[in-house]
Amino acid sequence: MKNDWLQPLIDQMYAKHLPHNAGEVASYIPELGKANPNDFGISLATADGQIFEAGDSTRPFTIQSISKPFTYGMAIELHGHAKVSARVGVEPSGDVFNSIQLEKDSHRPFNPMINAGAITVSALLYEHYGDEALEQLLARFSAAAGHPLSVDEAVYQSEKRTGHRNRAIAHLLLNFGMVEEKVEQALDLYFKQCSILVNTRDLAVMGATLSNLGKNPFTGVDVYDIDRVKDMLSIMFTCGLYDYSGEWAYKVGVPAKSGVSGGVMSVVNRQLGFATYSPRLDARGNSCRGIEVCVDLANELGLHVFDCMNMGSSYLKAML
């Protein structure tokens, strides 16, 4: 059903939050520091294939940690729950995204949304696909976005050159048997997956694909099985914003994932994908303005999963 009120609402959100200039662009990956701090894009894609957007919605930036739920879904598909959960947990860590902490007895990373967990997941993909892993990953991400995506070589090189902390995490994981020997190859895959170029339109469509039971609503291509979508959205809901995840669940109440280049992708199950880009970050590595817009939009549209306006999406409800 076509609607004529959503575009004016997105325009209004854009205008309202345009003056917001808190936060700092990430510079620990030197190439990310080159981003224009004023860039600001919003895109919303519905599960029935409509797009509404404002501002710099086609400005490219690297996906960074927003890649993590998508690779997690692939790893479970390839290796099954038992093997994946022996290597990476599903508990919010309450810690920063690049924390070097592992679970006390199991030595697993706490969850796949922090770097330690995501590197473990990349290693699982490498373990299965070997040198084909990047190609497979790009094909899947591209299917979710609805067009071919590629790696930003400069950001990749920059991450590879300066990623000493991630390298340390990977070697700690190797020490505890969470990843296999080919740790450099797994890290390389991780750096490349983080350096995939997207814009808010791509992320909104990727989110809409998850909202639409894993089928891209624009191309009709089945990208993820519905059981994997459930895994991905669950982990995004509890861990998607690192040590801000609890507050996010409280204030916005939808599964989401942020990345240090300034993107935030949110999913409203069975309804829509929503993405913002604004590279100024808070101390936790989340986009300041992106969070503000998401809080505002969730309130405006009653998107929170426990909002009394949200009708929910369960099968049982449809039967009653």
Contacts with ligand GLN by CB under 6 A: the residue count is 11
Q: Are strands 272-277 and 263-268 parallel, antiparallel or unpaired?
A: antiparallel
* Token pair of 305 as six digits: 């999963």
Instruction: Give the residue with the Cβ less far from ligand GLN, 255 or 259.
Output: 259
* Pick 46 or 122: Cβ nearer ligand GLN: 122
Amino acid identity for residue 222 in this structure: D
Can residue 287 be called a binding residue for ligand GLN (CB under 6 A)?
Answer: no
Q: Is 98 in the site for ligand GLN (CB under 6 A)?
A: yes
Question: What's the min distance (Å) between Cβ of 210 and ligand GLN?
Answer: 18
Indicate whether 217 belongs to the interface with ligand GLN (CB under 6 A): no
Instruction: Please identify which of the residues 84, 198, 254, 260 carries the catalytic annotation.
Output: 260
Taking only Cα atoms into account, the Rg of the chain, rounded to an integer number of angstroms, comes to 18
Interacting residue with ligand GLN among 183, 194, 196, 206 (CB under 6 A): 194
Q: Considering beta carbons, is residue 164 or 317 the nearer one to ligand GLN?
A: 164
Minimum CB separation of residue 18 from ligand GLN in Å reads 24
Binds ligand GLN by CB under 6 A, chosen from 259, 273, 279, 290: 259
User: x/- site string to ligand GLN, residues 4 to 43, per CB under 6 A?
Assistant: ----------------------------------------
Q: Which of 285, 293, 297, 304 binds ligand GLN (CB under 6 A)?
A: 285
Alpha helices in 4-104 (DSSP H): 6-17, 68-87
Q: Which is nearer to ligand GLN, 140 or 257 (CB)?
A: 257
What residues pair up with 215 in beta bridges, in sequence order? 222
The minimum distance between CB 299 and ligand GLN, in angstroms, equals: 26
* Residue 85 · residue 93 · CB < 8 Å: no
**From CA 122, how far away is CA 74, in angstroms rounded?**
10
The amino acid at 219: T
Whether 68 sits among the annotated catalytic residues: the reply is yes
190 is catalytic: yes
Q: Name the residue with tokens 């879904």.
A: 73
For 82, residues 6+ apart whose C-beta sits below 8 A from its C-beta are: none
Of 157-176, binders to ligand GLN (CB under 6 A) are: 159, 166
Place of tokens 């917001």: 20
Q: Where are the alpha helices (DSSP H) in the chain?
A: 6-17, 68-87, 115-129, 133-145, 153-162, 164-175, 183-194, 200-211, 226-239, 245-251, 288-301, 315-319
CA distance 13 to 293: 7
CB proximity list for 12: less than 8 A, separation 6 or greater: none
240 binds ligand GLN (CB under 6 A): no
Among residues 43, 67, 68, 258, the one annotated as catalytic is 68
Residues annotated as part of the active site: 65, 68, 190, 242, 260
Please report, as ranges, the residues that interact with ligand GLN according to CB under 6 A: 64-65, 97-98, 115, 159, 166, 194, 259-260, 285
